[in-house]
Amino acid sequence: MNEQEQLYHEIGGSFEGSERGQMFGKPCYKFNGKTFISFYQNEMVFKLEGDALEEALALSNSKLFDPSQKGRPMKEWVQVSHANAHEWKKLGKAAFEYSIKPV
């Protein structure tokens, strides 16, 4: 397990009630069956909204998550480069908080 994957697991496992799972065949963490983070291409992927989404997209080398790689990105999901790993914990918290919001 490399440093980035280890950090991903530390972050995902730090939220009480989070569970490991799969999303599109990639590792993810869920809360009550709702995925809030994933790990893809040695980078973290976060489900975000509002200011947190804009902040994540403003980071260098960040982009909307496109797991099919066919130009169909998922609008609330941001793939954040390992160069910005110092932001992963904060973004993970925002993603978790988004996942627990009442619908």
**What's the rounded mean pLDDT across residues 64-90?**
93
Kindly report the backbone phi and psi dihedral angles of residue 36, in degrees, each rounded to the nearest multiple of 5, phi listed first.
-120, -25
Give the C-alpha separation, 48 to 95, whole Å.
5
**pLDDT tens figures, 35-60:** 999 999 999 999 999 999 999 999 99
User: Predicted confidence band at 12 (pLDDT cuts at 50, 70, 90)?
Assistant: very high
Give the C-alpha separation, 59 to 50, whole Å.
15
For the record, the structure tokens of 33 come out as: 């069956």
User: Predicted confidence band at 67 (pLDDT cuts at 50, 70, 90)?
Assistant: confident
- Give the pTM: 0.94
Give the C-alpha separation, 59 to 56, whole Å.
6
CB 89 within 8 A of CB 12: no
**What's the rounded mean pLDDT across residues 54-76?**
93
